[in-house]
Amino acid sequence: MKTVEELCKEYNVNLIDLRVYPEYASEVNMPIEHFANRSFCIGSKEIVVGLYEDDELRYVSALHELGHILGIIDKKEGWPYHHEVAAWKWAMDKVHEEKIKLVPKTIQWCNDQLLTYFKKEKNKDD
Ligand SMILES: [Zn+2]
């Protein structure tokens, strides 16, 4: 199984890992708690991976952010729910490719993440 670091290197994406570089939080004027169980992508060249108690959640979150960079073909179309789906699909294809067996709790967490976007989008139309 490739690590987050190896995948970022492979895809030429810069990795800001809060475990390695906690100073990042103060550089962007955010409390460190802001990065608990959270990751982001910045443009199409960089991902920020926050602090997770669970390594598997950290891993799939990082893959998801890479999916935002690598898995979305038409960036203009279907924002934001469809982008979320595409990013998770890329992440799950990678999980499959790397032959990683996720625990059910992780799969549930991924679903929950996606559902929050679905709800936001749905409320917008109401
Ligand atoms: Zn996302």
The three-class DSSP label of residue 106 is: helix
From ligand 1's centre to the CA of 84, what distance in Å? Answer: 5
Read off the pLDDT of residues 67-115 as tens digits, 9 standing for 90 and up: 999 987 776 666 678 889 999 999 999 999 999 999 999 999 999 999 9
- Please identify every residue whose CB atom is under 5 Å from ligand 1, which is an ion: 84, 87
Read off the pLDDT of residues 32-62 as tens digits, 9 standing for 90 and up: 999 999 999 998 899 999 999 999 999 999 9
Q: List beta partners, residue 47.
A: 15, 41
Residue with tokens 């390695």: 20
pTM for this predicted structure = 0.90
Backbone angles phi, psi at 84, to 5 degrees: -65, -45
Rounded Cα distance, 58 and 7, in Å: 14
Q: What is the DSSP letter of 71?
A: S
Strands 39-42 and 14-17: unpaired
Domain that holds residue 8: 4-125
From ligand 1's centre to the CA of 2, what distance in Å? Answer: 21
Strands 46-49 and 14-17: parallel
From ligand 1's centre to the CA of 26, what distance in Å? Answer: 23
Overall number of domains in the chain: 1
